[in-house]
Structure 1
Amino acid sequence: MSSEVASPKAVDYVAQLTPYVPGKPIAELEREYGVSNVVKVASNENPLGPSPKVVDYLQQMLLHPQELARYPDGNGFVLKNKLLEFYSAFNSTRNSTSRSKEPLQLSVNQITLGNGSNDILDLLARTFAGQNDEVIFSQYAFAVYPIATQAVGATAVITPAKNWGHDLDAMLEAITDKTRLIFIANPNNPTGTCLSAKDLLNFIKQVPANIVVVIDEAYEEYASSVDSPYVEQYQSMLNVLYDFENLVISRTFSKAYGLASFRVGYAFSSSVIADLLNRVRQPFNNNTFALEAAAIALSDQNHIERSAALNWQGMNYLIESFTQLGLDYIPSAGNFICVNIGTECAQIYEKLLYEGVITRPVANYQMPEFLRISLGSMDENKRVINALQNVLGKLSTDK
């Protein structure tokens, strides 16, 4: 018998996965680089944080530590009903001229809750795709799509991008009898590109009914804001959910709602799809405080309006600054923007870390010359531009 100790062997498609790489945490930068007063603009977080109402709730919950010993509501009753109440009046409560004034007809059994919207994407892949199946998504699409696809042994079909965004005609042409799932982020991460409601609706109409179409609307609150330059062309596909049994809309509380650490995502779909997703969803995948915080956050739309207004103020400032610096960028409908730093992008990213500024390199998205920069407070935005000017200036001098 061999003296070698056998090690566990994963299935090939899992063993070959490249894991998701998050933005560098502030504590890690302080620890490794010895810097302080760090600005993190790497993970598309809300610089205002959560609603003050959520903060008040959490402070009150400190008085009830016994709740820590109890399991959360595995069905998320309160949050689901708050979502239903909010989105049933969706068109009349959001100031978008691109929306119909008719209330949406939704039911609780159309909702799936996730541990962040990433959990929803993973559930969709596990439910509808497997070995010998194909999943379509675009070049420069969110990194979780290929991870979720490969984790279930399905084949990723990556269509070439068009102007850094989705080429919907190319995606339609890529459909075969093996296609089970299509992922589209609108706005797209990391490029920020935005599809018009007309084009996206026309696309969904042409997809065979046996293929699940997932519209990832993680940044909807920014694109649909009254301050957004995209408000006229952008429209959530929630408005047409009842017309398509194969349509799934995923959302998150991690971005505009400022609850990234709580990990709360959700999806609207047909009741048939929601039932299937809830069969594979882990029990208690949302904790008690996250469920309640999300429900409270949903009730404070003034906070969302303030967050979106700050975002677009900051976006205008960054765009003006990039123009002055002679840097190209990709126009974005989200709370981030990709700027073309050039062939020395990796070096510049590293030098920015020593300036106490954490941005996000996107070489893993086949965009090696770009940095993705999240919108922060105006003070943070100015700090980012000043640091970038310093680094570029020193680099030019060294040459």
Structure 2
Amino acid sequence: MTIAIVGAGPGGLALARVLHVNGIETVVYEREPSRGARDQGSMLDIHSGQRALREAGLIDEFFAIARGEGQDMRLLEPDGTLLLQQDTPDDAPLDRPEVDRADLRALLLDSLPEGTVRWGHAFESAENGVVRFADGKSARYDLLVGADGANSRVRPMLTDARPEHLGQNIVELCISDVDHTYPDLAAMVGRGNYWVLGDGKSLAAQRNGDGRVRIGLCFQNTGADWFATTAIPFDDPAAARARLIELFDGWDPRFTALIAAADDRIVPRQLSTLPIGLTWPSQPDVTLVGDAAHLMPPVGEGANMALLDGAGLALALAAHPDDFPCAIKEYEREMFERTSAAARMSARIQELLMAPDAGRRMLEFFQPG
């Protein structure tokens, strides 16, 4: 029985690894040409997803690359008022450690037999047990798993649901080797997460394990055409930084200094979500994991749900190796319930972040009563 996984993200790789641990081999098809073809992004807060890594037999290796100090947090308002500072003791348990996306992906990739991941295979279509790729190649499958993210091309085989714009647009920046290039900014951001919330905008800076600080500038209650109407010249990094600083006029100069210090790679991103509680009639030979199944606001649950999806589906398949339809139904029943709860919680946090007094609202969230 051939299991074909489309997408080498956390969900797809966790699925392949837990299947391998249970003596079931699979193939992962990834559109990227190689494992190092693109930047994998910022840090991940891995908490509930640790259960999946235990099933994968990788929890010790995960703790070796996890950053406990990444749990540090500083919460501020645009005028510079410090609302909350949480510093993690060196001996604190790794309940919610941060890990570089690239490091987690490398851990999962290295745990798989050579040749499991087929690079440069962009999914085009699937029908009658045959998956076809953009380069004209094809492969047979008995079970097809879409682990291909927010813009999944496997999802339409199960549902007509499409991601909808969340009302937020983000600009991503980073400062490389920050301890040497801008030690004052490095000290300000600290070891973990640095959030400035309010005035319909937010600035999130995050220390990464590779020595850089990644910065996300989020513009709340903005439409899908916002980038087209805001005149940020992304093809001219210096002018783009200047325009972004204008958009944060009135904020404490320490915060706009982070924008001024950023590298020339400036990336615009729109945020979208799938409907909360999305389900579909179970099919005997296709299912979804991760963002392909339940894209939700990026507030710390997505990667954890993807890891749990991959492990959960793998364990269901291992329990019913000769009955894929039964395994799929068992997996989807648990996944729908679990991820709906996570999506509702994520939406609640997202509402707090979009409030005019977001800083104070988040302070109440972290310190209720």
**Shorter-chain TM-score tier:** under 0.3
TM-score by length of 1: 0.26
Using the size of structure 2 for normalisation, the TM-score is: 0.27
Name the structure with the higher helix share.
Answer: 1
